[in-house]
Amino acid sequence: MPFGLPSNFAIFSLPAAIVSNGFSINKTVTGIYNSSTTPASFPWNTYNYCNAAHVNAEHYFEPTGNEGAELLYLNVVIRHHKRTPDNLYPDENELNTASGWNCESLHQQSYGGGTAPVFHETLIPSWHPYLSTIWNGTCDAGQLTREGLDDAILHGKDFWSVYHDRLNFLNTVNSEDIHIRTTTEVRTHQVASALLFGMDSATSSSPWPVYTQPESIDSLVPGYPCPTADAVRDAYQSVPVWTDHLTQNMDLKAKLDATLGTAGLDSWAAWYDHFFDTFTARSCHGHSLPCNSSGACIEQEDAQRVYALGDWEYNYIWNAAENATWYTQLTFGVMFYELAHNLKSFQSRSDPYKLRFYVGHDGSMIRLASGLGFGKDGPLRWPAMGSEIVIEVWRTETMRDFVRVIHEGTPVPRLEWVSLNDFIEILERQIPNNIYQTCMGAQ
Ligand SMILES: *[C@@H]1O[C@H](CO)[C@@H](O)[C@H](O)[C@H]1NC(C)=O
Ligand SMILES: *[C@@H]1O[C@H](CO)[C@@H](O)[C@H](O)[C@H]1NC(C)=O
Ligand SMILES: *[C@@H]1O[C@H](CO)[C@@H](O)[C@H](O)[C@H]1NC(C)=O
Ligand SMILES: *[C@@H]1O[C@H](CO)[C@@H](O)[C@H](O)[C@H]1NC(C)=O
């Protein structure tokens, strides 16, 4: 390893050809991809794909130069924590260890209130004719793991250590003060429950409402249809600046396909997303990178190239491409509307909640980060598991309201102290006019 860094720290370079096309990310990309715990020898807020840094008592500080200001309102958006791979190889079974994935230690509860608290457990019968297409064990694809749940519990503890213990902004964990919204994905509900439990273990004794929007119009994933946006994205993924990165990495793609059996599959060829997902989910859980039945394995340096390409693609699609801003506004405009609506309700004293907590996905985080302008100072990276954006509203002694935005536990440059009105305007600038008609009309 260069610079004598410990072995779980990845430092790698992008192929020169990618770096030269004007949409490059830093030549050297650093990060942790194989443990939820960032080693103490690294800065605490080092990019860790398995478990992002977040607000915590040890590194939190009140807004400087504004002594006497009081925290009055909070909106938080996070990505769920780590899970099994969302994507499956055609011959998934052989590309895992014999034991595969184990999910027995996390009961998948889902039941009609007032009746028996059933949970479901995944069974993969040895006689099943499709056995080759799924790993061994007791997990479904995209399922929150016990380890992911544990990370979410710690996340809740750290949150409480600041917003209760230190600031006393929230007194008790109760559903009059705290509004939680998730997507319709079960793992986001489970993360919500783990966060609450981390804040106060007594929450395990009574049911809690988490709110969802109908899947077909959910603004958080986001899940509402927008054919106009699809066309915009198709266009900027048809130009050389995008297609070049695919042709320039054909050597890598051919190697991955040969080992993983993914040749000729469009969804694995359109981008590196699926490779990124299947490698990181494994390495974040201490599994080895996939090895096929002939004994050929994905090499660490190829995985690292995939991680760099994943970052590059995320930044291109949601932040850097010509028209990426428009795409992000179209596909997340409804969520920007919701956040602006929350803040205006606070302003007019009509929001009964002190905290609105959202548990979403990487697609939620990248759009929010891009829309808030985080990508103006440098490229955005793939939002890590548990990635967090906190919007704090403070009132000064002179009764003026200011917003401070904190990303992965660190205040964001230029959003460290913005008047509430200006911040609402920043959000509103991200909402296309007549968004429904604009999204649906052009096709
Ligand atoms: C973690 O990843 C690094 C590469 O970034 C690798 O060198 C190291 O062996 C991995 N550690 C474990 C425990 O898998
Ligand atoms: C999965 O388990 C079966 C037995 O149920 C075994 O035959 C097979 O080899 C296992 N898969 C792998 C990849 O080892
Ligand atoms: C961006 O949008 C404009 C206006 O629709 C269009 O002319 C241009 O070709 C688009 N650029 C890309 C790279 O798709
Ligand atoms: C395993 O991967 C190697 C290339 O890395 C390939 O040549 C071989 O055919 C693969 N085996 C199977 C069973 O897919």
Q: Which ligand is nearest to the CA of 8?
A: 1
Clarify whether residues 126 and 246 are in a common domain.
Answer: no
Q: Whose CA is nearest to atom 1 of ligand 1?
A: 8
Clarify whether residues 269 and 203 are in a common domain.
Answer: yes
Short-list 354, 123, 324, 118, CA closest to 239: 324
**SS3 at position 189:** helix
Clarify whether residues 93 and 207 are in a common domain.
Answer: no
Q: Is the CB of 231 under 6 A from ligand 3?
A: no
Clarify whether residues 224 and 342 are in a common domain.
Answer: yes
Structural domains in the chain (count): 2
CATH number at residue 60: 3.40.50.1240
Q: In whole angstroms, what is the distance from residue 34 CA to residue 50 CA?
A: 7
Short-list 165, 71, 106, CA closest to 355: 71
Clarify whether residues 130 and 145 are in a common domain.
Answer: no
Contact between residue 331 and residue 423 where contact means Cβ atoms under 8 Å apart: no
Residue 12: what pLDDT?
A: 45
Question: For residue 11, what pLDDT band results from cuts at 50, 70 and 90?
Answer: very low
Q: In whole angstroms, what is the distance from residue 161 CA to residue 157 CA?
A: 6
27 in any annotated domain: no
Domain assignment of residue 121, given as a range: 88-140
pLDDT in tens, 80-122: 999 999 999 999 999 999 999 999 999 999 999 999 999 999 9
Looking at residue 217, its amino acid is: I
Phi, psi (5° rounding) for residue 105? -80, 5
1 in any annotated domain: no
Clarify whether residues 220 and 100 are in a common domain.
Answer: no
201 in any annotated domain: yes
Clarify whether residues 293 and 404 are in a common domain.
Answer: yes
Q: Is the CB of 235 under 6 A from ligand 3?
A: yes
Q: Whose CA is nearest to atom 6 of ligand 2?
A: 98
6 vs 143, higher pLDDT: 143
Q: In whole angstroms, what is the distance from residue 15 CA to residue 248 CA?
A: 9
For residue 8, pLDDT beyond 70: no
Q: Is the CB of 23 under 6 A from ligand 3?
A: no
46 in any annotated domain: no
Pocket test of ligand 1: the residue of 282, 285, 300 to mutate, having most ligand atoms within 8 Å of its CB, is: 300
- Which atom of ligand 2 lies closest to the CA of 94? 13
Short-list 54, 71, 50, CA closest to 410: 54
Strand bridging mode 178-182 / 355-360 = parallel
Residue 24: what pLDDT?
A: 45
Clarify whether residues 324 and 420 are in a common domain.
Answer: yes
Clarify whether residues 92 and 81 are in a common domain.
Answer: no
Clarify whether residues 146 and 127 are in a common domain.
Answer: no
Q: Whose CA is nearest to atom 7 of ligand 1?
A: 7
Clarify whether residues 206 and 118 are in a common domain.
Answer: no
Contact between residue 87 and residue 274 where contact means Cβ atoms under 8 Å apart: yes
Residue 321: what pLDDT?
A: 98
Q: How far is CA 112 from the centre of its chain?
A: 29
Looking at residue 381, its amino acid is: R
pLDDT in tens, 31-88: 999 999 999 999 999 999 999 999 999 999 999 999 999 999 999 999 999 999 999 9
291 in any annotated domain: yes
Clarify whether residues 152 and 279 are in a common domain.
Answer: yes
Q: How are the residues of the chain apportioned to helix, strand and coil, as percentages rounded to the nearest 5?
A: 40, 15, 45
Short-list 296, 380, 419, 411, CA closest to 53: 411
- Which atom of ligand 4 lies closest to the CA of 295? 1
